[in-house]
Chain A
């Protein structure tokens, strides 16, 4: 079984709809991250969390919110989706120890019409 799972893998939604992307991990890591990836722009950090009570904004948090329901679960919400949020979204985890190696889920491909 995969260590980091994301649901759904693909999602098509309409402008103005609220959607939630979910991430679960079995690695036992405290740190979790949400990124978006657009062609030619690499990975952009949306939010990150160091434990259940800790939530931090990344470089592109506007239009997004997150919830850390448990150590193993970190969800990303788009309150009112817009077309420029069409992208590939990745969840990642990392141990609090060592050089911050990040372990990624398989991604969610989101299309906002």
Chain B
């Protein structure tokens, strides 16, 4: 069974700090996606990475896919209260199903 483990499960920091959350597996994924979910809403895609070693930037968010395509990280620079939410990673083992991590709940305090 393919699993994705996210860490930390919960993170609360002050506005302006930097942070990194991780998504790890012992399995290889063809692609990896990061979603953000806000209370009362469904997850919304932030980014998809498909190549080992790939780095993508979305404003203050930097996403990296591991060289072996088994892990990924999300780094946020100078976090803002608007970054608060549940961050989910999802791996694509096939072309019809995603394997989901349990999520990192992030709170940015003003």
Q: A interface vs B, CB < 8 Å?
A: 4, 31, 40-45, 48, 50, 90, 92, 99-107
> Can you list 26 residue pairs at the A/B interface with Cβ under 8 Å?
A40-B102, A41-B102, A42-B88, A42-B101, A42-B102, A43-B43, A43-B88, A43-B100, A44-B100, A45-B97, A90-B42, A99-B30, A99-B31, A99-B48, A99-B50, A100-B92, A100-B98, A101-B33, A101-B45, A102-B45, A102-B98, A103-B45, A104-B42, A104-B43, A104-B44, A106-B42
Give how many B residues have a beta carbon under 8 Å from the other chain's beta carbons: 23
The closest CB in chain B to the CB of A35 belongs to B100
Q: Please give 6 more A-B residue pairs, beta carbons under 8 A apart, in addition to A31-B96, A104-B42.
A: A41-B102, A43-B88, A99-B33, A99-B48, A100-B92, A106-B42
Residues of chain B contacted by A92 (CB below 8 angstroms): 42
Q: B interface vs A, CB < 8 Å?
A: 9, 30-31, 33, 40-45, 48, 50, 88, 90, 92, 95-98, 100-103
**B48-A40 in contact (CB<8A):** no
